[in-house]
Amino acid sequence: MLNYIIKRLVASIVTLWVIATATFFLMHAIPGGPFDTEKPLPPQIKANLEEKFGLNKPLSEQYMMYMKNLLKGDLGPSLKYEGRTVNDIIAYSFPTSAKLGIVTVICSLLLGTYLGVTAALNQGKWQDQLVMVIATLGVTVPSFVLATFLIYVFAVKLSLLPAIGFEGPEYYVMPVMALGGYSLSFIARLTRSSLLDVIRQDYIRTAKAKGLSRNTVIYKHALRNALIPIVTYLGPLTAGILTGSFVIEKIFGIPGLGREFVTGIYNRDYSMIMGLTVFDSFLLITFNFIVDILYAIIDPRIKLEA
């Protein structure tokens, strides 16, 4: 077990290093500097700016500086927001994104599992077909299409929900639906097929033969094992919600990380893009690491080799 954890930890650190390095060189490969605006700056000001951000030093030295700061958790200053560092921006906008993300994960997990179980227990009946239709649509309709559709119906036509902003519970409804639509559908499909697999196994028949009630058999015996594949999906689920938030936060005007990322792209704020990429990757890799270990703990049949 310990061996496995150490191996995974080393792999995670290597991955993070690859990401940080690749990001650094990609950002420095951009033709033209970050201060090449439409109106050319006076050469002296430009030189001063480059001096300030260390852009006039040789690339190798810049890389060493960047890596050293990164180890301290310092992602550097924003090139476009005067006097703000990338860390400031993350500290400000991450809580919003995290709240939205956590609510979305919980909603799609609970509702997705529920739909999956309903479909599996009514295999072939109308409930099953309805769930499969929802799941198919959810997987194929892009999140921004779903988001605009929701805005049109609930904000424009029915005036039920606010379309822009992020202040109270009612502001969560549409972003969560748009962001979680895909994962909900995926989880529903996964739960359905996994539960169908499990309820045909011998130990379920044994449980039934012992005279246990239907609910006990399903929820205590079958669902527990059926949910194991869902744990593996938790990693991709977070990744999807994280990248999905770029579009969703922009559409709903939510002041989170995703919107900052997109704004960074619009502004060509390279240190922002770089910092947020590294931060996002760090989050995902940490999460994947935890999920992998959880998975091994939950399912004792999994051999801890890698």
Partner 1 sequence: MEYANFELTKEMFERVPKEEKNIHEIVRPSETYWQDAWRRLKKNKLAMGGLFFVIFITLLAIIGPYLSPYNYYSQDFSIANQGPSRAHWFGTDPFGRDIFTRILYGARISLTVGYVASILNLTIGILYGGISGYFGGKVDNIMMRIVDTLYAIPMLLYVILIMVVIGAGLKSIIFALAIAYWLSMARIVRAQVLSLKQQEFVLAAKTLGAPHMRIILRHLIPNSIGPIIVTLTLSVPSAIFTEAFLSFIGLGVSAPMASWGVLASEAMETLYVYPYQMFFPALAISLTMLAFNFLGDGLRDALDPKMRK
Q: Which chain residues interact with partner 1 by CB under 8 A? A: 11-12, 14-15, 18-19, 22-23, 26-27, 29-30, 136-137, 139-142, 144-145, 148-149, 151-152, 156, 193, 239, 242-243, 246-247, 250-251, 262, 265-266, 268, 270, 273, 277, 280-281, 284-285, 288
Let me know the angle formed at the C-alpha of 208 by 203 and 209, rounded to the nearest 5 degrees: 95
CB-nearer residue toward partner 1: 171 or 270: 270
**CA–CA distance, 239 with 286 (Å, rounded to integer):** 11
CB-nearer residue toward partner 1: 21 or 206: 21
Smallest distance, partner 1 to C-beta of residue 306, A: 9
CB-nearer residue toward partner 1: 28 or 208: 28
Smallest distance, partner 1 to C-beta of residue 42, A: 26
CB-nearer residue toward partner 1: 47 or 304: 304
Residue with tokens 């956590």: 102
User: How many residues in the chain?
Assistant: 306
Smallest distance, partner 1 to C-beta of residue 220, A: 26
CB-nearer residue toward partner 1: 47 or 155: 155
Let me know the angle formed at the C-alpha of 221 by 236 and 235, rounded to the nearest 5 degrees: 10
**CA–CA distance, 171 with 282 (Å, rounded to integer):** 28
Smallest distance, partner 1 to C-beta of residue 212, A: 28
Element (H, E) at 174: helix 173-198
User: If 0-12 CB within 10 Å is exposed, 13-18 middle and 19+ buried, where does residue 168 land?
Assistant: exposed
Smallest distance, partner 1 to C-beta of residue 144, A: 5
**CA–CA distance, 110 with 104 (Å, rounded to integer):** 10
CB-nearer residue toward partner 1: 45 or 290: 290
Return phi, psi of residue 165, to 5°: 110, 175
Smallest distance, partner 1 to C-beta of residue 213, A: 29
Closest CA relative to residue 176, chosen from 235, 256, 114:
256
